[in-house]
Amino acid sequence: MRKLLIAGNWKMHMLNHEAVGLARQLKVKLLGAHRVDVLVCPPFTALTAVAEILSDSDLHLGAQNLHDMRCGAYTGEVSGEMIRSAGGSWVLIGHSERRQLFGDSDAWTNRKLHAALEAGLRPVLCVGETLAERQAGRLDAVLARQLEAGLAGLSPAAAGTLTLAYEPVWAIGTGVVATPAQAQEAHAVVRRIVGGLLGSEVAASRQILYGGSVKPDNARQLLEQPDIDGALVGGASLKADEFSAIVLAGEGVVK
């Protein structure tokens, strides 16, 4: 049975004192939430401060990106080892904003995945189609391309800490959300493709999160779908009440 995971991507928000305040609120509000795993991904600048707040809690801490090299003359970049030294144990890879705004190619995303695993981080590999790709009937093809390239060189044994996230680009930050049926269809496609690449056992055991304007009022319907194992939450993760409500919605889902 796959345990639900609710992850909050704070993106480029939160000064350190704001991040600490949010972490403290979540720590209190989610004290009794044990049926769902919770992950928060602050900006790099707040990792250490948030790590200190969450050190005696069950909440997990991750970063939003990493470079594929361990060290070197890469001004402005952060390695997996640096994330771990700051207290993080998870990392988002291939988020659509990284792909669209910063040129993260499928090949670079794959190198980052391997770098994360080598650093002992738990990667969350993000995939998803644009509105134009969906309207052109290319959902399966786009997901296959991203997964085949993103998981290249990964053995079934090494996939034990892998989490996947399906995020339709057209639903991120737009207020538009895929219907539960649309989300389930895409998640089933992701699981089928992963099964072809890494085997049915890996595909059946890996969590696949849905990301795209998840809010308290739609969370439960999405999380009840058989192939949706959690949520990658953007805007709502910046508000303790909203994010906690999404987590608690997950607590009420039995799979």
The pLDDT value given to residue 115: 98
The pLDDT value given to residue 1: 72
Nearest-angstrom CA–CA distance, 142 and 113: 19
DSSP bridge pairs for 29? none
Q: Which of 67, 97, 129, 167 is catalytic?
A: 167
**pLDDT-based confidence at 125, cuts 50/70/90?**
very high
Q: Is the pLDDT of residue 17 over 90?
A: yes
The mean pLDDT of 91-106, rounded to a whole number, is 96
The pLDDT value given to residue 101: 95
The mean pLDDT of 190-208, rounded to a whole number, is 97
The mean pLDDT of 155-172, rounded to a whole number, is 93
CB-based contacts of 92, cutoff 8 Å, min separation 6: 7, 9, 41, 62, 63, 64, 65, 123, 124, 126, 165, 232
**pLDDT-based confidence at 148, cuts 50/70/90?**
very high
Nearest-angstrom CA–CA distance, 45 and 1: 36
Range scoring the smallest mean pLDDT among 2-6, 94-98, 175-179, 197-201: 175-179
Specify whether 148 is catalytic.
no
Residues 131 and 169: beta-carbon distance below 8 Å: yes
CB-based contacts of 22, cutoff 8 Å, min separation 6: 10, 14, 238, 240
- Percent of the chain at pLDDT > 90 equals 90
pLDDT in tens, 30-81: 998 889 999 999 999 999 999 999 999 999 999 999 999 999 999 999 999 9
Nearest-angstrom CA–CA distance, 189 and 181: 12
Q: Is the pLDDT of residue 213 over 90?
A: no
Q: Is the pLDDT of residue 199 over 80?
A: yes
Q: Between the CA of residue 195 and those of 79, 151, 192, what are the distances in Å?
A: 30, 12, 5
The mean pLDDT of 68-95, rounded to a whole number, is 98
Q: Is the pLDDT of residue 177 over 80?
A: no
Is pTM beyond 0.75 here? yes
The pLDDT value given to residue 176: 73
The pLDDT value given to residue 212: 87
Q: Is the pLDDT of residue 243 over 80?
A: yes
Q: Between the CA of residue 205 and those of 48, 182, 194, 198, what are the distances in Å?
A: 31, 22, 11, 11
- 65: domain CATH number? 3.20.20.70
Q: Which of 67, 95, 97, 187 is catalytic?
A: 95
Based on the structure, what is the number of domains in the chain? 1
The mean pLDDT of 161-185, rounded to a whole number, is 88
What average pLDDT does the chain have?
Answer: 95
Specify whether 167 is catalytic.
yes
Domain of 164 in residue numbering reads as: 5-251
Q: Is the pLDDT of residue 247 over 90?
A: yes
**pLDDT-based confidence at 170, cuts 50/70/90?**
confident
**pLDDT-based confidence at 240, cuts 50/70/90?**
very high
What is the enclosing helix (H) or strand (E) of 191?
A: helix 180-198
